[in-house]
Structure 1
Amino acid sequence: MNVPANLKYTDSHEWIRTEPDGTLTIGITDHAQEALGDLVFIELPAVGRTVKAGEAVAIVESVKAASDVYAPVAGEVTAANTEVVDAPEKVNADAYT
């Protein structure tokens, strides 16, 4: 299992990376994607959406289960990785990109 030391992690298996410009990038951990299995669907929050810490902001579905992804901090969504919407298996291949 891959656990990059430069990231912060939540108890609900999200990771947080601080980018050079101060924005945060958030995703699910390698452990979470392994537990879910082959991902088949991802729903991301809309750019511009304001979120509260702890709020369910995305959904990941696999052949085994569906799971909410929670915002670890409050803020505004400024970008979304739309590549994974079209190819959810990219998260299985590398949960940290």
Structure 2
Amino acid sequence: MSEFKRIPPEQALALKQAGAVVVDIRDPQAFAAGHISGARHLDNQSVPDFIRSADLDAPTLVVCYHGNSSQSAAAYLVNQGFSDVYSIDGGFELWRATFPAETAQGTAE
């Protein structure tokens, strides 16, 4: 069984630019207020559909507020069969501070 990896925003940006899937597990209001450009919002209701339709071998980046909850979510995805999962250290807060131009607002991503 593979394990997820913790990576800094700089490494996450490189993976994102190479086509990695970005999933954001924060609450819908926080996601709408700001998220990583191209990220997909996941919650308890949408995660089963996401898992069913996902490429389990595609690099998948998981982000939360500060990088703690994303570790649990990343471990969950690994347990569901995902093989290349990353938790972004520092979460969206560090991402936004590091790459403000790589953020978006709204719910239609």
Structure with greater strand percent: 1
TM-score, normalisation: structure 1: 0.27
Structure with greater helix percent: 2
Bigger RCO of structures 1 and 2 (CA < 8 A, at least 6 apart): 2
